Chain A
Amino acid sequence: MKLLKNKLLLALLVLISGYGYIISCTHDNSVPPPAAVVGIKYKPGTGVFVPGNMTAGNPNEWKLDKVHSSVLWSGAYIGAAGLLTGRFNQFGMHNVLPAEMTLYLPAGQPVKDTSWAFNEGDDSKTYFNGYVQMNTSNTGEPGRDSGCNIGNMGTQKISYYGGQYCLRDSNIARLQTTKVAFDPSTGNYIVNFNLTWKGKLSTPLTESLVGRLSYVKRATIASAVPYDVFGLQLLFQLNIRDFGVTSTSIGDKVDIQCNMNFNNK
């Protein structure tokens, strides 16, 4: 009798889990992507963009349009399925020096976004420095933002610093390019860079990574005083386990997308 009950239980469990597997393994038909176009060789343009002193009204000095830029992150939740996504509210393009790693009043950019240059035709003259304030990570989901989102990255919430911007090395991730090279097969740039972040480690770790940079061409915006804009988008991936992040809510690999817009107003 007991054996019969066990057999019945086994049959039920196999039936239920089998049905679950059938549902989960059924694929919807998907449209195949268009065939790749081969043989096209792109040539870089001749644009030269430098920030100078970011003097307002100087059309030769390009300013980071922080308000219309973004740094986004995404990773598979529990490393198994759809994406967890979020953004960093505070970031900039400055090589943050040790003397500048301190607290700032939350008004505008804490340090000038002047540590970059983009030369379309001569990639040896292109370089970038950037940083994000990790505790400004924002998922748009209150349950996550008030929960473990910040703690899992090894830093403290903004309220911990009395609402001030914190550029201490425990709270910022820094990016510094080592080489930028034009890729004629895509028209993009291959960017080698060092990423420095403490995460949940005892000291900041610097890791060499590779990303892809695409350039959105310069365009003139018609207004009372016309001005020009251009954009840069950097995509790369990092393994957050290297930085001591142990949360099982997100997978090992996290994709980062930096969308930077500039103007010469």
Chain B
Amino acid sequence: MGDDFLAYIERLQIMAFFAGYPLIYALVQVLAGRQACKSGSFANRLVQSLPYAYALTATLFLGMLLRDLYPDYSMKNISGQFQDPWLRVFGLLAMLNWIPFISQKPLLSLLHSLVFFFFIIQDLLLHITTSSIGKEVIQNDMRIFTDSFLLNTVTVTVILAFSLIIARIRKR
């Protein structure tokens, strides 16, 4: 966890957005199965909506950052509030999934989110192998992971619903 408590809280915040995505990704891919290859099918639409849902999650993350900084968006305030800006910048990179060229490679969104899931693995390993990580930290991680899973479920549902509505309008 390191010595910096604020950095730890920031890490939990960012995990709350992205750490649950790998599980959603794997669930969707397995549920879609071979049907995902059939263009226009529901399974195909579901798989295609994954990167956009991830981008939506990143946009919500950006919204939270802007809300936290409100009303002072100066560099001084940003450097004062954020202990680990690079992790946040890395999190915001997920918004690149709004670009169709990148969203065509859903694997990229999985690799990006796995970075945040690895924080949980790291804590679990430290808990098992050393006493430096207490059960409370694992409890935090799993609560955050649950929240993140629910958030990503909602974003996938929203994007899928949006995609179905657009498809229906286009058919007409």
Contact = CB atoms under 8 A, between A and B. Distances in A.
Interface of A is mostly: helix
A247 B68 contact: yes
A9 B26 CA distance: 6
A143 B6 contact: yes
B112 interface: no
Given A141-B5, A148-B81, A248-B13, A80 B120 contact: no
Interface of B is mostly: helix
A248 B81 CA distance: 12
A148 B136 contact: no
A6 B9 CA distance: 31
Contacts of B34: 3
Given A3-B30, A20-B124, A148 B135 contact: no
B22 A13 contact: yes
Interface string B119-137: 0110010010000000110
Interface residues on B, range: 35 or more
Interface string A1-30: 001001101100110110111011010000
A24 B138 contact: yes
Contacts of A7: 30
A140 to B, nearest CB: 11
A24 B68 contact: no
Nearest to A18: B142
Contacts of A81: 136, 139-140, 143
Given A151-B77, A247-B68, A78 B9 contact: yes
A218 interface: no
Given A24-B138, A77-B9, A148-B6, A10 B30 contact: yes
Nearest to A11: B26
A143 B23 contact: no
A124 interface: no
B121 A147 contact: no
Given A10-B27, A24-B135, A82-B136, A151 B9 contact: no
Interface of B: 4-7, 9, 12-13, 22-23, 25-27, 29-30, 33-34, 64, 67-68, 70, 72, 77, 80-81, 83, 117, 120-121, 124, 127, 135-136, 138-145
5 contacts: A16-B124, A24-B143, A80-B143, A82-B136, A246-B67
**The 3 residue pairs across chains A and B that have the minimum distance between CB atoms:** A10-B26, A6-B29, A24-B139
